[in-house]
Amino acid sequence: MRVLSVPRPGVGWRRQVREPQVVLSLVAAACLLAEAVIAKNVIGVELDFFSQFVPMWIFIAYLVSGLRDRTSEIAFIAVLVLATAAVLALYGF
């Protein structure tokens, strides 16, 4: 079972942000926010439930997969961004 890691003296916040789960969760949050703003204000559509939360589903798949190496982190980040762009492109046309 994982425990919450408390910052130690001498360890900067940049090292803590470097954990794969933290980076991927920040990218997923940014994709969710961008998707919501672009869909509502630029495209002018309301997304259905599954399409609205595509970045969250991909982040959950990352957590369930158990892959924590740098290559899988980059791959999941690319999938997050591309899936968000695909949903917006699909609703935009």
Q: How many structural domains are present in the chain?
A: 1
pTM of this prediction?
Answer: 0.79
Q: Is 17 part of any domain?
A: no
Q: What pLDDT is stored for residue 58 in this prediction?
A: 96
| pLDDT per position as a tens digit, 24-74 | 999 999 999 999 999 999 999 999 999 999 999 999 999 999 898 999 999
Q: Is 13 part of any domain?
A: no
Q: What pLDDT is stored for residue 72 in this prediction?
A: 94
pLDDT at 77 over 70: yes
Q: Is 58 part of any domain?
A: yes
R_g of the chain, CA atoms, integer Å: 16
Residue range of the domain that includes 75: 22-92
Q: Is 6 part of any domain?
A: no
Please count the other Cβ atoms lying within 10 Å of the Cβ belonging to residue 43. 14
* 80 CB-contact burial (10 Å; exposed 0-12 / middle 13-18 / buried 19+): buried
